[in-house]
Amino acid sequence: MSAPICVGTASEPRTIVATETPNSFLLKRALDDAAVWHSGQVRKYPGVAVPYVSHIAGVVAILARHGFDLEVQAAGALHDVIEDCGVLPTELEVRFGARVADLVKHCSEEDRSLDWEARKRAYVDKFPHKPWEAQAITLSDKLDNFASIVVCHQVHGNPWAMFKRGKAAQIERFEALASAAKGLSHPIVAEYREGLEKLKEVPE
């Protein structure tokens, strides 16, 4: 007999009997739920409301391009829902399984009561101790942010004006993450370093 899986709206999950294996539509369900949870949120582009789902798609595309499995891609789609949408890890585990929920937890800031600098510093300090797949999601997240900043500059205007602390503070934390990843050897790490160099060329 096919195993039941949880689907439905973000606020009202329901149980159905899967006609395929439980992971068959895992990524699709993650994308759908992420789109609902992030509804109304937009990217930091001046003068245009780019829905947050653009970022979700970008992160998943990077993970897929580098060959990460569907559970890692699903966690990539959901990487901000604990931090930005108030979704509980227990709900993620019910919907997507323990591995996905655990990866999302590893990609979330732990203490939102800290100021911005302390939170970003703690996030970087935590990076070397994450599972490799969570590190890959973090790097994919930042890579898509790099791409967003470059595209914003090319098409919409000055991206750095959208950040309260400006270009220097952003570059500093991205460089700190590059240092934290220096012991890793994988194409996604090399892509991160290349992307950071291109990012530095975007003027204020």
With respect to residue 17, please indicate whether it lies within any of the assigned structural domains. Answer: no
With respect to residue 181, please indicate whether it lies within any of the assigned structural domains. Answer: yes
Higher pLDDT, 6 or 170: 170
* Mean pLDDT, residues 121-140 taken together: 96
With respect to residue 176, please indicate whether it lies within any of the assigned structural domains. Answer: yes
Which pLDDT belongs to residue 22? 54
* Mean pLDDT, residues 56-72 taken together: 97
With respect to residue 74, please indicate whether it lies within any of the assigned structural domains. Answer: yes
* Mean pLDDT, residues 20-41 taken together: 87
With respect to residue 10, please indicate whether it lies within any of the assigned structural domains. Answer: no
- The CATH number given to whatever domain includes residue 33 is 1.10.3210.10
Band (11; pLDDT cuts 50, 70, 90):
very low
With respect to residue 43, please indicate whether it lies within any of the assigned structural domains. Answer: yes
With respect to residue 4, please indicate whether it lies within any of the assigned structural domains. Answer: no
**Domain encompassing residue 138:** 25-200
Which pLDDT belongs to residue 3? 37
Quote the mean pLDDT of the chain: 89
Asked if the model's pLDDT at residue 21 lies above 70, the reply is: no
With respect to residue 184, please indicate whether it lies within any of the assigned structural domains. Answer: yes
Which pLDDT belongs to residue 24? 66
pTM, entire model: 0.88
Task: Tell me the C-alpha distance between 5 and 96, whole Å.
Answer: 9
Asked if the model's pLDDT at residue 4 lies above 70, the reply is: no
Sorted by sequence, the CB contacts under 8 Å of residue 127 that are 6+ apart come out as: 135, 138, 177, 180, 181
Question: Which stretches within the chain are classed as H helix?
Answer: 26-37, 53-65, 70-77, 81-85, 89-96, 98-106, 116-126, 132-151, 166-180, 187-200
* Mean pLDDT, residues 8-15 taken together: 42
Percent of all residues in the chain with a pLDDT value above 90, rounded to a whole number = 83
Which pLDDT belongs to residue 15? 41
> What is the SS3 assignment for 51?
strand
Asked if the model's pLDDT at residue 17 lies above 50, the reply is: no
* Mean pLDDT, residues 5-9 taken together: 40
Report residue 98 as tokens.
């323990």
How many domains, the chain? 1
Convert the pLDDT of each residue in 133-191 to its tens digit: 999 999 999 999 999 999 999 999 999 999 988 999 999 999 999 999 999 999 999 99
